[in-house]
Structure formats: structure tokens, C-alpha cells
Amino acid sequence: METMNAEQPAISVIMPCYNRSHDLRRILEAYDQQDAGQPFEIIAIDDASMDDTFALLSGFHANHFRLIAETQSHNQGPAAARNRALGLVSAPLVVIVGDDILPERDFIRRHLDAHQFYPEENTAILGRVCWPDDMPCNTLMRHIDGIGAQQFGYHYLHSGRDYSFFHFYTANISIKMNMLRKLDHWFDTDFPYAAWEDAELSYRLWRKQGMRIKYIASPTGRHYHYHNIWTFSARQYQVGRMAQVMVRKHPELELVLRGPARRALGYGMRALAGTGRRRPHAALEARALELASLHEWDGHPLLDIFYLRLLEYYYFKGWIDALFGRMKPVSRIHDAHARLRLVRAIHWLDDAA
């Protein structure tokens, strides 16, 4: 389905969508209210949603941009959806966003202005993503976008500076299509989850095209994606699993990511050697998640340390399953991992409560 606009777009917005019918209309309306100054298009790919996402996309009438909406025959993940969208791009610039990112009114214009100021083909523009003022923000959400930086590292970024390929955040980043077209493939679909597939593309762009990522805070998107400790620990587990895929595809990165791999192997060796008293990891996980939930809305002084340890635990758990998942003693490895990573953190918070 395509809502036509005769003007050639100056920039294409690509947006993979999945089960967002409850809030997607507001996102599209925000794009329809842009003061872009130039024509633009949105290419939205519904990844076989189980709700009315595609019906909403198909029925939306855009007044100020061209909307192209297509749907996948089956759920394939954001990498495949973005690739399909990139194949439909007709503009020289593309901005990659999430279906949960509400753009500020000058969002499109700011990306266009940034590329005019930095016209080099190899320069990508990273915009800012922050929590919206009208959505409750708990301690975990403040942590993962703050000192923890497990979701985004904006807490440590400075507008106008260059950052490494790890900062290719596909919630709000724009890039020249000419650079993308020089690659033999775009997002790697061996990453079925929203984890590492963007960094993997970014790494190839950096190595082969010399891409630089310039952070400009002015193109701002508000992130309407509520998290609690259960949802985000599940995300961290998948991030750990996909990190091992990243290293398998690019072994040279093992020097950068060897810490998690070595720790996972260390837990495995301890478990197989039978060292230490066995404590079931499921019980320790349940207690740690319960403690985190109890403090979700207060400002406990040890909470950032606790979150760091707990979310690292789930990240390493993903590594363990990626490395040992088919081995019979994997449960013993998880037990050793939980004993070493969670027991002390649980005692910290229990004793201080």
C-alpha cells in the first residue's frame, strides 16, 4: 500500500513495525505535523504483527509525507524488515527509527540540516532518544539510559563529537544511501532479535567505508517503550546470545568482547569441576528479580550497583547458552554463574533494606 506524493523525497524514514496498533497512529500523526521544509517519505514494514498494525498503516492518510506500507508473510525480526524497507528507498538520505519513537516537530528538518552541514558520504548522524515526559519512568528505566547505559549511551555522549560503530542506534540515526549501497548486504538476518544487528552493520560500514558517527542532539525522538526488570532482563539475555553471533561473524572482535566470553567459559569450568556449593539458579534469579521489583519506584543508594550486577548476569547468561546450550551440564553452569554473580548482590540489597 502506498499513499502517493508526487514530489521526490529528500529523505526516507524506514520503520519496522510489530504489534504497535495501540500507539502507532500517534507516531504517524507526529510525522504528519513535521516542519520538514522538504518532502519526505515513510516506509513502514509490518513484521507479521498479531494485532491491527498493518490495517492501521494501510488506512492512515498522510497529508504531508508519502507513506509506503508493506507486510511480511511471517515474523522475521527487525533486520529483515529494515532490509525490505531499504530496498524501497527513493531518497538520497535515510533515517532509521523505531515504531515506538515519537519525533519532535523539527525531527526531519534537523536530520536534513545535519547532513547539509556534514555532507561527506561516510558521515552518519546519530540523533537523541529520551524518555517522554508523559510516561512514568521508574528507577530501572533511568538506570539503563543513565549511568548503566545498557540501552543507550546518551548519558555519556556530547553533541558534536564522533563516536564508535557501537553507537549506531537504529532508534534514531540517519545515513547516506550511497554508502549503504556499496555494501554487498545490509542488515544481517542471522540476528533475529533487536540486538547487535545494528552494530554489525555499523562495523562493516566503518571497516569498508570508513563511516564516522556524528552525534547531534537536536533531532530528538521520545521513546515510548516502558520497561520493568522482567522485560529488560529478558532483553539483556538476548543481547548476550547475539553478542556470540557477532564474534562468530567477526572473530577479530573477540579482543573487544573477550571479557564476557572468558567469564562464561570460567563459569563453565567451575561448574564442570564441581567447585562450590550448588544453589539452583532459578531460585536466585527469582529472588533478585523480586528485590529489583520492590525497589522499582524508590531511590535506593545501592540500586545502580544492583542493576549493573543483575543485568550483567542476564547478559552473561545469554553468552553461556550461546556457548553451552546444547550440553547436558548447562544447568550446572547456570548455577555456578548465579552463585558467583547474584548472591552478593542479593545480600547487599537485603541487608540495606
150, 106 contact by CB (below 8 A): no
Would you give per-residue pLDDT tens digits along the chain (353 residues)?
555 455 899 999 999 999 999 999 999 999 999 999 999 999 999 999 999 999 999 999 999 999 999 999 999 999 999 999 999 999 999 999 999 999 999 999 999 999 999 999 999 999 999 999 999 999 999 999 999 999 999 999 999 999 999 999 999 999 999 999 999 999 999 999 999 999 999 999 999 999 999 999 999 999 999 999 999 999 999 999 999 999 999 998 876 765 655 665 565 555 555 555 556 899 999 999 999 999 999 878 889 999 999 999 999 999 899 988 777 778 888 888 898 889 988 987 776 65
- At 123 the pLDDT is 98
- At 300 the pLDDT is 81
* Same domain as 176, residue 119: yes
DSSP 155-221: GG--TT-EE-GGG--TTEEEEEHHHHHTSS-SS-TT--SSSSHHHHHHHHHHHHH--EEEEEEEEEE
d(CA 67, CA 1): 8
* Same domain as 218, residue 264: no
d(CA 29, CA 33): 6
- At 352 the pLDDT is 62
Task: Indicate which CATH number applies to the domain containing 217.
Answer: 3.90.550.10
- Select from 188, 223, 258 the last residue of a domain: 223
Specify the DSSP class assigned to residue 37: S
Any residues with CB less than 8 A from the CB of 27 and at least 6 apart, and which? 20, 99, 100, 101, 102, 103
- Select from 181, 196, 223 the last residue of a domain: 223
128, 152 contact by CB (below 8 A): no
* Same domain as 209, residue 252: no
217, 184 contact by CB (below 8 A): no
* Same domain as 251, residue 142: no
* Same domain as 218, residue 97: yes
- At 301 the pLDDT is 83
First CA to last CA distance, the chain: 56
Residue type, 92: P
Pairing state of beta strands 172-176 and 66-71? unpaired
- At 238 the pLDDT is 97
**Residue 63: phi, psi to the nearest 5?**
-90, -25
* Same domain as 199, residue 70: yes
* Same domain as 331, residue 213: no
- At 156 the pLDDT is 97
Cell of 93: 538520505
* Same domain as 219, residue 238: no
* Same domain as 209, residue 249: no
Q: What's the domain range around 336? A: 229-352
111, 95 contact by CB (below 8 A): yes
* Same domain as 239, residue 150: no
- Alpha helix positions (H), 60-106: 78-86
Specify the DSSP class assigned to residue 74: S
* Same domain as 262, residue 217: no
Alpha carbon separation from 108 to 13, 16, 30, 186 (Å, rounded): 9, 18, 11, 23
Q: How many structural domains does the chain have?
A: 2
Residue reference for cell 554489525: 200
d(CA 269, CA 134): 48
- Select from 223, 247, 262 the last residue of a domain: 223
* Same domain as 134, residue 272: no
Any residues with CB less than 8 A from the CB of 326 and at least 6 apart, and which? none
d(CA 25, CA 20): 9
